[in-house]
Amino acid sequence: MLKNLFIPLLLSACCVKAGAQNDTSFQLLKKLKGDIVAFTADNFDNLYLLNSSDQLKKINEKGDSVAVFNNIRKYGKVAQIDVSNPLRVLLYYKDFSTIVVLDRLLNIRSTIDFRKQDIFQVQAVCLSYDNGIWLYDEFEHKLKKLDEEGKLLFASTDFRQLFDEAFSFTTINDQDGYLYLYDKEKGVYVFDYYGTLKNIFSLTGYNNFKAVGNLITGTRNDSLMRYQPGNLVMQEVKLPESFRKAQSLLFTSTKAFALKKNELEIYQIR
pLDDT, block means (10 residues), the chain with 270 residues: 41 48 79 95 94 93 93 84 94 95 96 94 95 96 95 94 90 95 97 94 95 91 91 91 90 91 92
Instruction: Tell me whether residue 78 is in a domain.
Output: yes
Neighbours of 105 (CB within 10 A): 12
Instruction: Tell me whether residue 245 is in a domain.
Output: yes
Which residues fall within 8 angstroms of residue 74, CB to CB, at 6 or more apart? none
| Residue 255 amino acid letter | K
What's the CA gap between 265 and 117, in Å, rounded?
Answer: 40
- pLDDT for 72: 64
Domain of 52 in residue numbering reads as 16-269
Instruction: Tell me whether residue 5 is in a domain.
Output: no
What's the CA gap between 135 and 169, in Å, rounded?
Answer: 10
Q: How many independent structural domains does the chain possess?
A: 1
Instruction: Tell me whether residue 140 is in a domain.
Output: yes
- pLDDT for 66: 96
What's the CA gap between 57 and 13, in Å, rounded?
Answer: 39
- pLDDT for 28: 94
pTM: 0.89
- Residue 221 sits in a domain of what CATH number? 2.120.10.30
- pLDDT for 20: 53
- pLDDT for 22: 61
Instruction: Tell me whether residue 6 is in a domain.
Output: no
- pLDDT for 3: 42
Distances (CA, A) of 161 to 6, 9, 158: 12, 17, 6
Distances (CA, A) of 160 to 120, 156, 193: 18, 11, 19
The C-alpha angle with vertex 185 and arms to 182 and 189, in degrees rounded to 5, equals 35
Neighbours of 184 (CB within 10 A): 16
Instruction: Tell me whether residue 9 is in a domain.
Output: no
